[in-house]
């Protein structure tokens, strides 16, 4: 493979490995950056991808310059846990890569996740539509409505749109819905697969979803400049939770299954701490629209 390189920070993770696979299939030269040494996931075991370990992004600029980086994808994140860890993963580390990308002239694609802002009332019959945020809502108190995960992600978004010297001239923010398919290892999908084996089909009217294959393709497009300067809400408007559960190994077609509406159950997460996973899931479920970082105030 020749030409500029796409650097994927977190390329051995769930979404990252699918993105690396999509890029290599397009003939793109890929370099993976890891926070700690680990073997490649199964879907990348046969693909020749260089991997570097740089847990604190101290060598980010040297690495990007050395490999002639054209695009940097930043994917690592944590839906819950210590606040200090989330600030490090969602703000301090990606800010270091943004600074490095600015200095070497590379593009930055940041995978955010702040309560997907797609309007589900538009083009609901168009399967796989990618909804770009055109209305930036203000007048809300994000600290009261969102998790710590959301707020730390939003801070990096605000940094990117600030236009400062540390910000790359070319950037894109991708906000995926709840990612399904591909053997998702996250706890919520392990629970969905368990329920499916028990012939219980979870359903939701409002849950924004996107398949991991679709998301990987969209991210690969973003790496070519398709969404420069945009917030893009990646939602498959034609994909329901019941369909995704069936894809994960749910009830066979035509069989009798118990249908479980999780919209009501999600309300129980309101009493959860802001930094926990149930609270994040509740934030995504209850709001059809979110907020844009350019309107956040200190």
Answer yes or no: is 138 within a domain: yes
Query: Rounded to whole angstroms, how far apart are CA atoms 249 and 200?
Result: 11
pLDDT exceeds cutoff 80 at 44: yes
Answer yes or no: is 204 within a domain: no
pLDDT exceeds cutoff 70 at 134: no
Mapped onto helix, strand or coil, the DSSP state of residue 63 is helix
pLDDT exceeds cutoff 90 at 119: no
From residue 84, how far is each of 55, 98, 148, 275 by CA, in Å? 15, 20, 10, 11
- Section 228-255 average pLDDT: 74
Mean pLDDT of the chain: 77
pTM attached to this predicted model: 0.83
Query: Rounded to whole angstroms, how far apart are CA atoms 37 and 21?
Result: 19
Are 257 and 200 in contact by the 8 Å Cβ rule? The answer is: yes
Which of 100-104, 117-121, 173-177 has the weakest average pLDDT? 117-121
Are 218 and 128 in contact by the 8 Å Cβ rule? The answer is: no
Domain CATH for 222: 3.40.50.720
Contacts of 4 (CB under 8 A, 6+ apart): 29, 68, 69, 70, 71
- Section 122-146 average pLDDT: 42
Q: What is the pLDDT of residues 64-109, one digit of tens each?
A: 999 999 999 999 988 777 889 989 999 999 999 999 999 999 999 9
User: How many Cα atoms are found within 13 Å in the side-chain-facing hemisphere of 100?
Assistant: 27
Q: Indicate the number of domains in the chain.
A: 1
pLDDT score of 188: 75
Burial label, 272 (beta-carbon count in 10 A; 0-12, 13-18, 19+):
middle
Its domain, for residue 25, covers 5-180+209-237+287-295
Answer yes or no: is 41 within a domain: yes
Answer yes or no: is 47 within a domain: yes
pLDDT score of 127: 36
Are 106 and 171 in contact by the 8 Å Cβ rule? The answer is: no
Q: Which comes out higher in pLDDT, residue 125 or 32? A: 32
Answer yes or no: is 279 within a domain: no
Q: Do the bridges between strand 131-132 and strand 107-111 make them parallel or antiparallel, or are there none, so unpaired?
A: unpaired
Which of 49-53, 218-222, 259-263, 280-284 has the weakest average pLDDT? 280-284
pLDDT-based confidence at residue 209 (cuts at 50, 70, 90): confident
Cα end-to-end distance, the chain, whole Å: 45
| pLDDT-above-90 percentage for the chain | 34
Answer yes or no: is 11 within a domain: yes
Answer yes or no: is 265 within a domain: no
Answer yes or no: is 104 within a domain: yes
């Amino acid at each position: 493979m020749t030409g500029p390189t796409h650097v994927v920070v977190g390329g051995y993770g769930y979404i990252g490995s699918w993105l690396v696979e999509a890029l290599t299939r397009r003939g793109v030269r890929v370099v993976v950056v890891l926070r700690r040494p680990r073997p490649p996931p199964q879907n990348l075991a046969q693909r020749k991808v260089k991997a570097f370990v740089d847990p604190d992004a101290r060598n980010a600029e040297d690495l990007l310059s050395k490999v002639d980086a054209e695009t940097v994808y930043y994917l690592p994140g944590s839906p819950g846990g210590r606040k200090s860890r989330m600030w490090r993963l969602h703000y301090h580390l990606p800010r270091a890569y943004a600074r490095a990308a600015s200095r070497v002239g590379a593009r930055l694609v940041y995978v955010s996740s702040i309560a997907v802002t797609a309007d589900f009332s538009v083009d609901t019959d168009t399967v796989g539509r990618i909804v770009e945020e055109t209305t930036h809502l203000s007048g809300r108190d994000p600290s009261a409505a969102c998790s710590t995960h959301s707020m730390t992600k939003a801070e990096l978004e605000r940094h990117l749109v600030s236009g400062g010297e540390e910000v790359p001239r070319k950037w894109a923010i991708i906000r995926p819905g709840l990612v399904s398919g591909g053997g998702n290892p996250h706890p919520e999908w392990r629970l969905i697969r368990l329920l499916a084996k028990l012939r219980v089909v979870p359903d939701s009217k409002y849950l924004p979803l996107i398949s991991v294959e679709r998301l990987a393709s969209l991210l690969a497009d973003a790496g070519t400049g398709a969404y420069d300067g945009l917030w893009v809400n990646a939602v498959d408007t034609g994909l329901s939770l019941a369909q995704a559960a069936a894809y994960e190994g749910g009830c066979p077609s035509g069989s009798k299954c118990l249908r479980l509406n999780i919209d009501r159950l999600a309300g129980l997460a309101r009493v959860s701490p802001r930094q926990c996973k149930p609270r994040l899931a509740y934030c995504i479920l209850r709001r059809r629209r979110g907020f844009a970082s350019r309107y956040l105030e200190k």
